[in-house]
Amino acid sequence: MADEVKRSLSLREEQAAATRRRIADAARRLFAEQGYSTTSLAEVAREAGVAARTVYTVFGTKREILSAICEAWLEDARARERAQEVLALEDAAERLHGAGAWLAALYAAGFDVVQVLDSAVDEDGETRRLLRAKLAGRNRVMDAMVASAQDRLAAPLPEAQALFRAMAAPGVYQSLVVEAGWAPERFGSWLGDLLVRELLGG
């Protein structure tokens, strides 16, 4: 009897997780196609094939769906694990090359999410706080990667960190990969070379 109850609970949990992911995936498609602001939760429900009340029960607000999309993107990109791998590299130049590859992999796994986040900047205060928190998390990782090469930097640390942020702007990836047709790997290699040249002086 206990085993049957456990199996039943496990099945319900799996179904709930699948429903949550289906709603988030549907919202991600619509946000990318129509924009975050103009997409309603009713449209998300239709795209996901669930009742509108299910969306409200599972997430409550559009902002919570956006947060779930961000988390799924980071997991798919293995962003946290890759960052640790980069920081574990022994040589400073290797870490900066790794930083370029890390950013390229992050964008490649979800540049549509990056564009959705950009389009949501004019939303309500709670959404803006969410976006600032997500951006701050990315910036902390990037700052740590640059700081790990501090002993060899050719510029003051704050300036070097600001340079990486400027090079990592979504518009740069948009121009070179989305518009000019570069492979993400080429972008990562180019960015790594640029970081080494500009931050280490060669």
178 contact partners, CB below 8 Å, separation of at least 6: 111
pLDDT tens track of the chain, all 202 residues? 555 555 656 788 888 888 999 999 999 999 999 988 899 999 999 999 999 999 999 998 888 999 999 999 999 999 999 999 999 999 999 999 999 999 999 999 999 998 888 877 666 778 788 878 888 888 999 999 999 999 999 999 999 999 999 999 999 999 999 999 999 999 999 999 999 999 998 6
Residue 78, phi-psi category: left (phi > 0), alpha (psi -120 to 50), beta (remainder): left
CA nearest to 141, candidates 199, 94, 200, 81:
81
Per-residue model confidence (pLDDT) at position 183: 98
Could you tell me the sign of the dihedral formed by the alpha carbons of 129, 135, 141, 143, in that order? negative
The CATH topology of domain 72-200 is: Tetracycline Repressor; domain 2 (1.10.357)
Structure tokens belonging to residue 125: 């205060």
The runs of H, that is alpha helices, within the chain are 2-34, 41-48, 52-58, 62-76, 79-87, 92-119, 125-147, 157-167, 170-173, 184-200
Indicate if 72-200 has the same CATH topology as 2-60: no
The CATH topology of domain 2-60 is: Arc Repressor Mutant, subunit A (1.10.10)
Classified as helix, coil or strand, 182 is coil
Query: In the chain, where are the structural domains located?
Result: 2-60, 72-200
Per-residue model confidence (pLDDT) at position 159: 96
Per-residue model confidence (pLDDT) at position 54: 94
CA nearest to 72, candidates 141, 22, 144, 140:
22
User: How far, in Å, CA of 87 to CA of 101, rounded?
Assistant: 12
